[in-house]
Amino acid sequence: MSEFKQVTISKAANVYFDGKVTSRKITFSDGSFKTLGIMMPGDYKFATNEQELMEITAGECEVLLSGASDWQSISAGQSFNVEANSSFEIKAKTLVDYCCTYIS
Amino acid sequence: MSEFKQVTISKAANVYFDGKVTSRKITFSDGSFKTLGIMMPGDYKFATNEQELMEITAGECEVLLSGASDWQSISAGQSFNVEANSSFEIKAKTLVDYCCTYIS
ipTM score assigned to the predicted complex: 0.91
* Residue at B2 is within a domain: no
Asked if B57 reaches chain A (Cβ–Cβ under 8 Å), the answer is: yes
Residue A32's CATH number: 2.60.120.10
Q: Do B40 and A38 touch (CB under 8 A)?
A: no
Tell me the per-residue pLDDT of A70-88, one tens digit each, with 9 for 90 and over. 999 999 999 999 999 999 9
* Residue at B1 is within a domain: no
Q: Do A3 and B8 touch (CB under 8 A)?
A: yes
Tell me the per-residue pLDDT of A1-52, one tens digit each, with 9 for 90 and over. 799 999 999 999 999 999 999 999 999 999 999 999 999 999 999 999 999 9
Task: Answer yes or no: are the C-beta atoms of B61 and B38 closer than 8 Å.
Answer: no
Task: Answer yes or no: are the C-beta atoms of A71 and A61 closer than 8 Å.
Answer: no
* Residue at A17 is within a domain: yes
Tell how strand A51-58 and strand A79-82 pair up. Answer: antiparallel
Per-residue pLDDT of chain B (104 residues; tens, 9 = 90+): 799 999 999 999 999 999 999 999 999 999 999 999 999 999 999 999 999 999 999 999 999 999 999 999 999 999 999 999 999 999 999 999 999 999 98
Give dist(CA B86, CA B90) in Å, integer. 14
Q: Do A57 and B18 touch (CB under 8 A)?
A: no
Of B93, B101, B103, B99, the closest CA to residue B44 belongs to: B93
Give dist(CA B29, CA A81) in Å, integer. 33
* Residue at B60 is within a domain: yes
* Residue at B37 is within a domain: yes
Give dist(CA B87, CA B22) in Å, integer. 18
* Residue at A28 is within a domain: yes
* Residue at B16 is within a domain: yes
pLDDT score recorded for residue B104:
85
Domain count, chain A: 1
Question: Among B11, B15, B99, whose Cβ lies nearest the Cβ of A4?
Answer: B11
Asked if B18 reaches chain A (Cβ–Cβ under 8 Å), the answer is: yes
- The domain in which residue A39 lies consists of 8-103
* Residue at B3 is within a domain: no
